[in-house]
Amino acid sequence: MLVLQIKPVLAALKRHKAGTLLIGLQIALTLAIVCNALFIIQQRLTHLSRTTGIVESDLLTVGSEWTSASGAAVEPLVHADLQTLRELPGVQDVGVSYGYPLRGGGWNSGVTIKPDAKQPVAVTWRFFADDHVLTVLGAKLIAGRNFRADEIRAMDSHNLAAPAQLIITKALAEKVYPNQSALGKPLYIGGATAPSTIIGIMDHLQGGSASSWSDAISDYVVLEPKLLTDKSNAYLIRTRPGQLGAVANVARDTLFKANRLRIIPNGEGEGGGVRSFAQVREQAYKNDRGMAIIMSAICAVLLIITAAGIVGLTSFWVSQRRRQIGVRRALGATRHDILGYFLTENFLISLAGVLTGIVLALGLSLWLVAHFETRRLPLPFLLIGVALLLLLGQAATLAPALRASRVSPVEATRAA
């Protein structure tokens, strides 16, 4: 039945070249954009759904920089702050660190396993943390131990003697010591001439930035037992369940009351002030989420407009051919035949459209790869796009085609 209809459909289409071409072109272009946009959405969502390796609820970050203290004077001030914060009602524990997951920017260095290696084995994030940070964050230690309080050294960022101990992520451990346990082995960090010993391995901890430039090193993190005295550290506060808001409300005032010669900024990244981890995450992924929303909106509106265009043109064709439809009906064609005719017509146009669209979609994808460091469009997205547009075409044709099928055979006798 379908096969029988193809020939007359093709013959009729030849009389509507322009309309056919326009619908086909619209379907082709829509396919090209929609499947690339879907792929962008999927990439962004994958990016967004990476885990940090920490317990993100009930976690507060408070950035603070000293305005007049420097060098050795900073250490007691930080210890006093930690004590003050720990005494706040609702606070479970507090650590201090320069760098934490998704903070926005921070410190990266190359690491090697030999002191004279020319090229680093990997580039890693460096978080300068005290002995509370690991537990406050809720990162899971899968081998070895945490730092002890007496191992934490205060120093400024220009005098970074290699630390005696390091805790690193599993991903980094497997990268630098493949097929063997990294525990107890040496690691040279940031061109240091002295080795540090890997004393602990964390299951996972995400690096300091969600930006795509750092994707390759996102899982490589080193914790160093240090307190940087010349950088703006952040207090990481683990609150009791449900107490996050209450602690966040008083954190700023409490710190200023303890010592007012400080700046608690209200920006992002290095200038981050009082931020719950939910806010940290939201700011880190703002662009990814924005892109996903924009692309989804464009896809949705595009599909609606293409569908509406098909409805419009098909309706026009139906109204143009009322008389012919009447003649066919008078000659014995069933309603079903008429419906089938228009659906077949649309299917053929859509098919030609999606075939052209596949070429365009791949072309667009290659162009994006060449200019934007993205990956090539995977086949499933193309197939989803093709199925989506073929279905859309049929659905959009249905209403006008049903109207056509209701044309009465009497029309044959009327003037056009």
Partner 1 sequence: MFAYYFELGLRSLRRNPALTALMVMAIGFGVAASMITFSVFRAVSGNPIPQKSAQLFTPQLDGWGPQQNLKGEPPDALSYTDAIALMRAHEASRQTLLYAVHVSVMPGGSRSLPVGANGYAVYGDFFPMFEVPFRYGSGWSAADDDGRAAVVVLSEAFNQKMFGDTDSVGREITLNGHDYRIVGVARHWNPQPRFFAAFDNDNFDESSDFYVPFTRALDVQIDTYGRNSCRGNVDFKTRDAWLRSSCVWVMPWVELDSAADASRYKQFLERYAADQQRAGRFGWAPNVRLRDVVQWLEYRKVVPPETRISLLVALGFFVICMVNTIGLLLAKFMRRAGEIGVRRALGAARSEMYKQFLIEAGTVGLAGGVLGLALTALGMLGIGHLFQPQIARLAHLDVSLMAMTLLTAIVATVLAALYPTWRAAHVQPAWQLKSN
Tell me which residues touch partner 1 (CB under 8 A): 18-19, 22-23, 25-26, 29-30, 32-33, 36-37, 40, 65, 67-68, 105, 109, 118-119, 157-162, 190-194, 230, 256, 260-263, 265, 270-271, 286-287, 289-291, 293-295, 298, 301-302, 305-306, 308-309, 312-313, 315-316, 319-320, 364, 368, 371-373, 415-416
- In the three-class reduction of DSSP (H, G, I as helix; E, B as strand; rest coil), residue 75 is classed as helix
Query: Smallest distance, Å, CB 413 to partner 1?
Result: 15
Rama region for 299: left / alpha / beta (φ>0; ψ in -120 to 50; rest):
alpha
- In the three-class reduction of DSSP (H, G, I as helix; E, B as strand; rest coil), residue 219 is classed as coil
Query: Smallest distance, Å, CB 114 to partner 1?
Result: 14
Closer residue to partner 1 (CB): 51 or 67: 67
DSSP letter assigned to residue 373:
-
Q: Closest Cα partner for 248 from 105, 73, 59?
A: 59
Query: Smallest distance, Å, CB 304 to partner 1?
Result: 9
Closer residue to partner 1 (CB): 25 or 398: 25
CB-based contacts of 9, cutoff 8 Å, min separation 6: 341, 344, 345, 348
Query: Smallest distance, Å, CB 197 to partner 1?
Result: 17
* Euclidean distance between CA atoms 352 and 354, whole angstroms: 6
Q: Closest Cα partner for 268 from 63, 124, 97, 47?
A: 63
Closer residue to partner 1 (CB): 87 or 373: 373
CB-based contacts of 304, cutoff 8 Å, min separation 6: none
150 burial via Cβ count (<10 Å: 0-12, 13-18, 19+)? exposed
Query: Smallest distance, Å, CB 301 to partner 1?
Result: 5
Query: Smallest distance, Å, CB 206 to partner 1?
Result: 19
370 burial via Cβ count (<10 Å: 0-12, 13-18, 19+)? exposed
DSSP letter assigned to residue 269:
G
Query: Smallest distance, Å, CB 209 to partner 1?
Result: 10
**Stretch (H or E) spanning 56:** none
Closer residue to partner 1 (CB): 14 or 372: 372
Q: Which residues pair with 223 in a beta bridge?
A: 127, 167
Closer residue to partner 1 (CB): 239 or 397: 397
Closer residue to partner 1 (CB): 42 or 320: 320
Query: Smallest distance, Å, CB 334 to partner 1?
Result: 27
Closer residue to partner 1 (CB): 75 or 270: 270
Closer residue to partner 1 (CB): 57 or 315: 315
Q: What is the CA radius of gyration of the chain?
A: 32
Backbone angles phi, psi at 188, to 5 degrees: -105, 120
